[in-house]
A and B are shown apart, each in its own frame.
Chain A
């Protein structure tokens, strides 16, 4: 709704657009208390927002200018209401969402600011909810969003999605923002829950919107979609009934969502065109191998390692190197894996990332060195970002304690 209203009021009146939406929701609360839940709540809210928008336009006509593209149509009662209604038509709403998405990925904004803006404006997350999605204090997020909105409001107009050159110029930033949004939901470092399915859902919804636009449906966007769909398919089994994380090796694969996997396959096919192999293609391919292996033991690790080599060339990062090292350990054994872990460039950037010591712990354990393993898992536990992660690492520490006892009892048995 804010996207639609900003289109009518003009990007410089972003705050007015938000106020109108806020008013519509307040009105809803007042009215629904008495008359009960309407049959179609979102239609009701849209209508309320539209009515309030018309009121605001009439009231503010003399004091403000509105969207330059709509010209003087808003000045005259002959055309005021039909012009507003045109903006509330379904295809127009989708266009406005896309336009807002691109506007939020303003080049002057850092990636975290872009994602925070998308969450706040397009997904309707409150400032507190956005703060909950990232590991950052409410005050910091509030400032970040406020500054970002100032940058947005100071741009002369909303992004022009019909300008092909500008569109393809900003597309990578939009794809990256959606990738980060999904990532936050999937691997989130939130203090409350490690998995925020709603963030994943929002990222998927917006990526689908992007895909449907003729300029946005590039092979890279299809690859990004496939990647999200594949990860989302595995979401149901990522956490157990008690809210604990399960290692993907132990996940119940029957709980993976077959429909999402099937859709992902179609998306992968659509992505296999053009000449550009992007990081999203490679990540999607890796996810595909994992998802289609019937059991963890059947995973084609050789291909996974090759793909990680490729990914390191496209987007080198310590986290990618970490995942690659784990894949190598599956292929060539834990000692090789440990070598690779120790050889990661920029290892210091992983200093607060719990899965680095956790990986070391797993591999030491597999080499039979439970003492060293325990130390690594303790380090991982100290870095845990939420209760689920802490519990998971606790269990791994306990697993190390179980080892020497097992060996002792083996030694005590008669030869």
Chain B
């Protein structure tokens, strides 16, 4: 068996993960982008996106997942999501007050409608997904480090 099969779980888990992790990520993106039309939204979609990376990390070990999503990128997305959400809120001052829905509402039941709500969903999903993945990585690395000592 080659060297890449040594880390992580067994071959069956790795194959199933390789087939499903893209679907999970895609489902999270769907939940986020249709948050203003169907049940879901930024928080749930962000958690699903984080879960796809957690899935990758459980099956393939931490090097594979951290190669796809390094900790610096996770921290950057976390801060960027928070700043994006706050700046969307501050941009409402161009029309009057905080959190004003300043983009045109559009037609209901369309993907591009409801003004700032999809943008806020995307910002929250970036923040939640990157933050929860960073927490998971930190706790898992802590466990590995404490076992080494």
Do A and B interact with each other, yes or no?
no
Q: Which residues of B contact A (CB under 8 A)?
A: none
